[in-house]
Structure 1
Amino acid sequence: MASDLFNCRNSSSSSFILVGVPSLEAFPTCLGILFCSGYIITLVGNGVVLLVIGLDNSLRDPNHCFLGMLAIIDVVMATSIVPKMLSVFWLNSAEIGYMACFVQMFLVHSTTSEESGVLLAMAVDRYIAICHPLRYRAILNRQTIAQIGLAIVVRALLFMVPLTGMVTNLPCCRSRVVPHSYCEHMAVAKLACADPRPSRLYSVAGSSLIVGMDMAFIAVSYGMILKTALGKKSCWKAFSTCGCHICVVLLYYIPGIVSIYAQQFGSGVSVQARVLLADLYLTFPTMLNPIVYSMRTKQIRQAVLKMLFSRKVHD
């Protein structure tokens, strides 16, 4: 038995097998169409946002910078899982190399932290714009935006580097079949011979701290916005904008929280439900974000129409 115990990192030929969605292996075409359609919408929507922000020099406000950050994170998040999922569903290419698995794990979990950070930054941006409009430019200057972006990335790295190290150092001796559609860290950690509870507790504690802190500040920001807007002429506009943003935030955080705790403690929740929930919470918001946060922004809508119209005229 001792000879079977080894650190997977020392085996260059090791690999894992992704199941996809357990108990739904008989429906690969339908699942593939669902996630492929969502992925195309994500790429097109976020690609248009990045293209417009990059080409139009008038879109340099802090809000547009945060929208650009969100679009990049959404593309990375979706790209880190969907192409491999499609290869599992459509090509029966379920094997994923050891390094590729942990790179995917790192990208998935770090981008979820970064997305949460950007959502918080956008809520604070709207708070300053509505509640302190005269100080908006002074507070959110280029240096401050760069520092916020750096802080978001550093926080994700500080969370994920120890977690990845804890999982990669676990000794492997069991099946390499991962009952998931991507290398979710707990699904991989459960394959180890050693007790995975330290990494599980670290993940739950870190995720709860990040999500809880961000949600608290987002709630305070939107609460202050609505309080300031009450009784003003722009009240309905503020309610409409904040309402849409809050809906997207809830669609991201609620499934994410349920998924985190279901993966860790949800022994009563079926594996199929846990995997589908994890997949949807990583892919569904990436489709909605360009529509709600970007296309509802007047300047971006005008820039998109201007780009399309000028191209037609040129043709």
Structure 2
Amino acid sequence: MHVPAEGLPERVTIYEVGARDGLQNEKNVVPVEVKVEFLDRLAGAGLAVLEATSFVHPKWVPQLADAADLLDRLDRRDGVDYPVLVPNERGLDRALDAGVQHIAIFASATETFARKNLNRTLDEQFAMFSPVVKRARGEGLRVRAYVSMAFGDPWEGAVAPAQVAAVGRRLIDMGCWQFSLGDTIGTGTPGHAEAVIDACVAAGLPVDVLAVHFHDTYGQALANTLAALRRGVTTVDASAGGLGGCPYAESATGNLATEDLVWMLDGLGIAHGADLDKLVETSTWMAERLGRPSPSRVVRALAG
């Protein structure tokens, strides 16, 4: 039974990250033609935002070394946005060459992760991103900002919500249009999610520039998402079939599964535009290519 719930948004944008965040940690390289078909199937399932790949150096994420080839082969559908992650100006050059219209940058909320992942201090990362954002905006591109370790860090522990908000404020002021709060190691809980969102709003960030990106390491991703929706967030990152993790954070397990999110949104009467049956079919197909069952509970329940 689908009952519209009070105090929740009427519609949610699903920001699908399966093809990038979902596959980046796979040990065996997935053939480019499989990735292209994966993206096409996801678009066919009604998802309107599909993060396609990343122009990170192949040495760091070998799985995404085929980024340019993938975008060249991709039949981009009208009405579907295909953002790509870019780590630096060289990545932006490649994205511009590929005709990309929407990019994302990947910042850190903590000092330690900034050093380990970006080889920068927390402050220095902004100097690295500033020319990327400025050039991208000058070329007419939209720039999204991911902020990793927004809830907890494996080296520093819990992260102060005000610290996350301060990072987000700087990125939005720099010219990013959206700020995705990443629970990279999955330690967040609903109360913590509310506190981080409240801190962002208190720092002058409108709730409509916020997105959430939860990992399900401790089984909290859906509960955290619901807490975020109750605070007015309307963009939720999810990965088809629950694929993914972070190659630089060993304790990070899979992202929130798109199918699990859709099942919850349907039950809440929240519109999202996706076809659950086609998503389940797609994730089952991809699980067969990866040689293991999907971690998504909804996929297992409906495909079983």
- Shorter-chain-normalised TM-score: which range? under 0.3
Larger helix share, 1 or 2 = 1
Larger strand share, 1 or 2 = 2
| Higher relative contact order (Cα pairs below 8 Å, separated by 6+ residues) | 1
**TM-score between both structures, scaled by the size of structure 2:** 0.26
**TM-score between both structures, scaled by the size of structure 1:** 0.25
Which of the pair has more CA radius of gyration?
Answer: 1
